[in-house]
Chains A and B, each alone.
Chain A
């Protein structure tokens, strides 16, 4: 009896795995050793020693001999046969089970694909862990492109300054300048190629002024031509396969493209003559640059370039940032003297796409890490729901098969054999779901890609990581859900198995475990339902929030200059379908750079304001009016207004009233002094206050803004047109296009619709919302299905109890109440657990938005109530059915 000193569980484990013929000697030796050591060592040490000894025995040598395993093979055949028969016998049940699992597996696979797509941006580049992007910190904002000395007017030498500087660090191997033409700082998505006297419109161009480093860092795959032809000299063009296809047709590979001369107008500073030197593969879907051709030019046609560098070994980005900032002033003298230049920021290539930092002029849309985590969590929740469903159902299935297990035991099956059989069966069922899930994802992926505007190639599904991963999840699901009932039933003694009564609780913990499982389901259901509710509310809120301007019928087209704009305007003014024509910026863009300003006569300099330049016609087009604008018609050239946010800020800082504020002078860019006149900054008198307009995305709060509204601007980059409501859009656009070319514009005609721009702004949000709500619906569906299955089983097992109660005089109503009571209590507990979790999660997510709904806890209660209603109605339906059955049918026994 002194055996009881031993840690029991490990001893049991030893008995379980050790071959029978070895048991006596092994246990004897180990126990003797244990007692011997106990004399000279503390108990805990001896225990650990014993555990280690047992674990050392856990190897094939100690297991049953192979000759015994051979006898298993006919049994395994039998297990498969029985399993298949059961699967076929309960067709409906199998279909329900397998399709539920298939749905959750495909969700997991889709989320996996989505996450891996977003986490692998640009990682296909060779040595991507050594590639970094150099960013600018200017005033209080960060800029993705690095600016040149002299901005637009820089020559090649000016532009190369920061590159030369970086190259003085011994650990910098390569420095590349690139400029994707569809980025904000270039803002020309299309170009016209002239080739053999024909014109072709191309997609975005990727400019580089460092072709050699470009080849070594971005390593495009050459389908035609050689790398050496691209480097050395400039004015070279690499076509992508896509563009080669659309210009020369699919047989371009047999054609002699290399050396062809091409004409392409980039800017007045660039030569327009280029030579095609090769064809490269299309940029992959998970690349930060999307381009149709790569063009080398001696200088980058913009005021800045996206600057990437490659180091000789991986270094932490934060360390690089501080190393470069230590010698920051060497880049150009300006940086040392001017406090507006706050240094550089170095970002790892892998971090760019998912970074949460607000960086201006990113070349490609980013996705927040929070959102990716959210998807991961939702997929996990779906998996947990599936697991609990499966566990519940497997307990239910095996409770009905007690007799079969009993007979197997009588015939000589041991606990291990029973476990093995049951697991084979349940894993078999879960494996059926695997091909189904793969096919489902295969079918759904194209629409998923379309809806999320990403392009995950279909063959990704079948790559080993994903295919085996999902297979693994399927097998794991089977094992996890089967292991508990399998062990419980294999342990149960023979007599208990043969009792005709079906036991509700398959073991000591059975009932407790089931309650926990139902509770978990309830918590998850309440959370998903109410989170979806909050997400939906926020979605509606954003859609319906008054942005402060009119977006319908407002379009903007780029124009070559003031002259063309004026001609276009005079033509359009004659059209009756058009209300207003002007030039200037319109809302619905990404945020751009801010300016510094101060109040005349005060010390503080602020740097958080945006300056908006627009003609009065543009303000009219977007439906913003102010009495001050009228002075423009009376001959004034320009008025200066500020928005409510800026007014509030100034009034608060200097305790002014609104009337005092009007007439005060604001100095824009006070750090600038005109070298000739000595004038500090650009002083302007505040003439009026405009209401706040949500110029940028609702993610950002409206910040201080200055509006410089002209009667007629001196320059023109675009023409803003307001089309009368109720007009046929395509027809009017056609008229505008004709007028556009007649006005002398040569660039291809392109239209920005303000309402589309706004949609674009919220596209990512909408996609995320859509995906989250769809996934929650799937989760809710699976959860409810599982609960229904479980509840129907529970009612079934209590059929006798119900009948007996009826005999003793219980009414149908009392029976229904009895059956529902337990669920109601569980639901209440689940509500208590779910509320803080949901509150926290919703809070976290809503923090992404500057304008958000307030969280109403009532919604969580409503979700709980809804779940209870569904479960309750199933319980009530089934229990009233049970209560109406004739008790003699149930209680009758042979």
Chain B
């Protein structure tokens, strides 16, 4: 299993949720809405490219808009490897949760 950090995990989940609408700025907004903490765009870019290097997401340039001065977005989507990692994380967490005594 690929090792991923907390921030990477959150971003990965956000990309899943935002299907086809995830790019640098939108992810940073979603992150802020979700966690209540703001994050710089450059930090998001770093995380995104790291995830892409690990093969958990893939990207494509498309969908230029007026707000961006006609520039295209790099849209990120999950790869199957990414989905697997998220599923594994969830499974391992749940296994741990189930073992907590007096909590069921």
A residues near B (Cβ < 8 Å) are 2-3, 22, 24-33, 35-36, 52-53, 56-57, 59, 61-62
Q: Which of A26, A27, A53 has the most CB of B within 10 A?
A: A26
Judge if B46 is at the interface, Cβ distance under 8 Å: yes
Are A31 and B69 in contact, CB atoms less than 8 angstroms apart? yes
Are B69 and A3 in contact, CB atoms less than 8 angstroms apart? yes
Give every chain A residue within 8 A of B41 (Cβ-Cβ): 26, 29-30, 33, 53, 56-57
A-B CB proximity, top 9 nearest: A28-B71, A29-B24, A28-B68, A56-B42, A25-B74, A29-B25, A57-B42, A32-B25, A56-B40
Give every chain A residue within 8 A of B46 (Cβ-Cβ): 61
User: Which residue from chain A places its CB closest to the CB of B25 in the assembled complex?
Assistant: A29
Give every chain A residue within 8 A of B49 (Cβ-Cβ): 61
Cα distance, A769 to B42, chains bound together (Å): 59
Give every chain B residue within 8 A of A52 (Cβ-Cβ): 40
Given contact pairs A26-B24, A61-B49, A31 touches B42 in the complex (Cβ within 8 A): no
27 contacts between A and B (CB under 8 A): A2-B69, A3-B69, A22-B45, A24-B74, A25-B61, A25-B71, A26-B45, A28-B24, A28-B64, A28-B71, A28-B73, A29-B23, A29-B73, A31-B68, A32-B25, A32-B65, A32-B67, A32-B68, A33-B41, A53-B42, A56-B43, A57-B41, A61-B42, A61-B45, A61-B46, A61-B49, A62-B42
Cα distance, A56 to B61, chains bound together (Å): 23
Judge if B72 is at the interface, Cβ distance under 8 Å: yes
Shortest beta-carbon distance from B55 to chain A in Å: 18
Shortest beta-carbon distance from A27 to chain B in Å: 6
Are A28 and B69 in contact, CB atoms less than 8 angstroms apart? yes
Cα distance, A25 to B65, chains bound together (Å): 12
Q: Which of B29, B42, B72, B73 has the most CB of A within 10 A?
A: B42
Cα distance, A33 to B73, chains bound together (Å): 13
Are B67 and A36 in contact, CB atoms less than 8 angstroms apart? yes
Given contact pairs A56-B40, A56-B43, A61-B49, A31 touches B61 in the complex (Cβ within 8 A): no
Contact of B28 among A24, A33, A59 (CB under 8 A): A33
Give every chain A residue within 8 A of B61 (Cβ-Cβ): 24-25
Cα distance, A356 to B46, chains bound together (Å): 59
User: Which residue from chain B places its CB closest to the CB of A54 in the assembled complex?
Assistant: B42
Cα distance, A2 to B45, chains bound together (Å): 25
Give every chain B residue within 8 A of A31 (Cβ-Cβ): 67-69, 71
Give every chain B residue within 8 A of A32 (Cβ-Cβ): 25, 65, 67-68
Shortest beta-carbon distance from A625 to chain B in Å: 90
User: Which residue from chain B places its CB closest to the CB of A6 in the assembled complex?
Assistant: B69
Give every chain A residue within 8 A of B28 (Cβ-Cβ): 33
User: Which residue from chain A places its CB closest to the CB of B28 in the assembled complex?
Assistant: A33
Contact of A53 among B40, B71, B72, B74 (CB under 8 A): B40
Contact of B24 among A25, A36, A62 (CB under 8 A): A25
Shortest beta-carbon distance from A67 to chain B in Å: 15
Are B67 and A24 in contact, CB atoms less than 8 angstroms apart? no
CB < 8 Å A-B pair total: 70
Are B42 and A27 in contact, CB atoms less than 8 angstroms apart? no
Cα distance, A52 to B38, chains bound together (Å): 14
Are A27 and B67 in contact, CB atoms less than 8 angstroms apart? no
Cα distance, A682 to B72, chains bound together (Å): 102
Given contact pairs A32-B67, A33-B28, A36-B67, A25 touches B43 in the complex (Cβ within 8 A): no
Give every chain A residue within 8 A of B24 (Cβ-Cβ): 25-26, 28-29
Are A27 and B25 in contact, CB atoms less than 8 angstroms apart? no
Cα distance, A812 to B77, chains bound together (Å): 78
Are A25 and B23 in contact, CB atoms less than 8 angstroms apart? yes
Shortest beta-carbon distance from A268 to chain B in Å: 84
Give every chain A residue within 8 A of B74 (Cβ-Cβ): 24-25
Q: Which of B35-58 contact A (CB under 8 A)?
A: 40-43, 45-46, 49
Give every chain A residue within 8 A of B45 (Cβ-Cβ): 22, 25-26, 29, 57, 61-62
Give every chain A residue within 8 A of B29 (Cβ-Cβ): 36
Shortest beta-carbon distance from B102 to chain A in Å: 46
Give every chain B residue within 8 A of A29 (Cβ-Cβ): 23-25, 41, 45, 68, 73
Give every chain B residue within 8 A of A61 (Cβ-Cβ): 42, 45-46, 49
Shortest beta-carbon distance from B51 to chain A in Å: 14
B81-103, CB under 8 A of A: which get 1 and which 0?
Answer: 00000000000000000000000
Cα distance, A31 to B73, chains bound together (Å): 12
Q: Which of A29, A31, A33, A36 has the most CB of B within 10 A?
A: A29
Q: Which of B19-35 contact A (CB under 8 A)?
A: 23-25, 28-29
Give every chain B residue within 8 A of A35 (Cβ-Cβ): 67
Give every chain A residue within 8 A of B71 (Cβ-Cβ): 24-25, 27-28, 31
Give every chain B residue within 8 A of A57 (Cβ-Cβ): 41-42, 45
Give every chain B residue within 8 A of A22 (Cβ-Cβ): 45
Shortest beta-carbon distance from B101 to chain A in Å: 45
Shortest beta-carbon distance from A567 to chain B in Å: 95
Cα distance, A31 to B68, chains bound together (Å): 6
Cα distance, A33 to B71, chains bound together (Å): 13
User: Which residue from chain A places its CB closest to the CB of B71 in the assembled complex?
Assistant: A28
Cα distance, A26 to B61, chains bound together (Å): 12
Shortest beta-carbon distance from A94 to chain B in Å: 45
Q: Which of B23, B25, B43 has the most CB of A within 10 A?
A: B25
Q: Which of B23, B71, B74 has the most CB of A within 10 A?
A: B71
User: Which residue from chain A places its CB closest to the CB of B43 in the assembled complex?
Assistant: A56
Contact of B73 among A3, A25, A30, A62 (CB under 8 A): A25
User: Which residue from chain B places its CB closest to the CB of A27 in the assembled complex?
Assistant: B71
Shortest beta-carbon distance from B59 to chain A in Å: 9
Cα distance, A57 to B69, chains bound together (Å): 20
Cα distance, A29 to B23, chains bound together (Å): 8
Cα distance, A108 to B65, chains bound together (Å): 58
Shortest beta-carbon distance from A365 to chain B in Å: 60
Cα distance, A687 to B61, chains bound together (Å): 108
User: Which residue from chain B places its CB closest to the CB of A35 in the assembled complex?
Assistant: B67
Cα distance, A31 to B49, chains bound together (Å): 20
Are A28 and B72 in contact, CB atoms less than 8 angstroms apart? yes
Given contact pairs A24-B61, A56-B43, A33 touches B72 in the complex (Cβ within 8 A): no
User: Which residue from chain A places its CB closest to the CB of B49 in the assembled complex?
Assistant: A61
Cα distance, A57 to B23, chains bound together (Å): 16
User: Which residue from chain B places its CB closest to the CB of A55 in the assembled complex?
Assistant: B42
Cα distance, A35 to B61, chains bound together (Å): 21
Cα distance, A33 to B40, chains bound together (Å): 10
Cα distance, A2 to B71, chains bound together (Å): 13
User: Which residue from chain A places its CB closest to the CB of B59 in the assembled complex?
Assistant: A25
Are B72 and A24 in contact, CB atoms less than 8 angstroms apart? yes
Shortest beta-carbon distance from B43 to chain A in Å: 7
Shortest beta-carbon distance from A19 to chain B in Å: 11
Shortest beta-carbon distance from B74 to chain A in Å: 4
Cα distance, A35 to B66, chains bound together (Å): 11
Q: Which of B23, B40, B64, B65 has the most CB of A within 10 A?
A: B40
Shortest beta-carbon distance from B24 to chain A in Å: 4
Cα distance, A38 to B23, chains bound together (Å): 20
Shortest beta-carbon distance from A135 to chain B in Å: 59
Shortest beta-carbon distance from A461 to chain B in Å: 45
Cα distance, A59 to B29, chains bound together (Å): 22
| 8 further interface pairs, Cβ-Cβ under 8 Å (given A3-B69, A24-B61, A26-B45) | A24-B72, A27-B69, A28-B71, A29-B68, A31-B69, A33-B41, A61-B42, A61-B45
Cα distance, A154 to B81, chains bound together (Å): 95
Cα distance, A33 to B43, chains bound together (Å): 14
Shortest beta-carbon distance from A170 to chain B in Å: 52
Shortest beta-carbon distance from A616 to chain B in Å: 91
Cα distance, A57 to B40, chains bound together (Å): 9
Shortest beta-carbon distance from A109 to chain B in Å: 43
Shortest beta-carbon distance from A658 to chain B in Å: 87
Cα distance, A26 to B48, chains bound together (Å): 12
User: Which residue from chain A places its CB closest to the CB of B64 in the assembled complex?
Assistant: A28
Are A33 and B25 in contact, CB atoms less than 8 angstroms apart? yes
Cα distance, A630 to B61, chains bound together (Å): 114
Q: Which of A27, A32, A52, A62 has the most CB of B within 10 A?
A: A32
Shortest beta-carbon distance from B28 to chain A in Å: 7
Cα distance, A36 to B72, chains bound together (Å): 17
Give every chain A residue within 8 A of B69 (Cβ-Cβ): 2-3, 27-28, 31
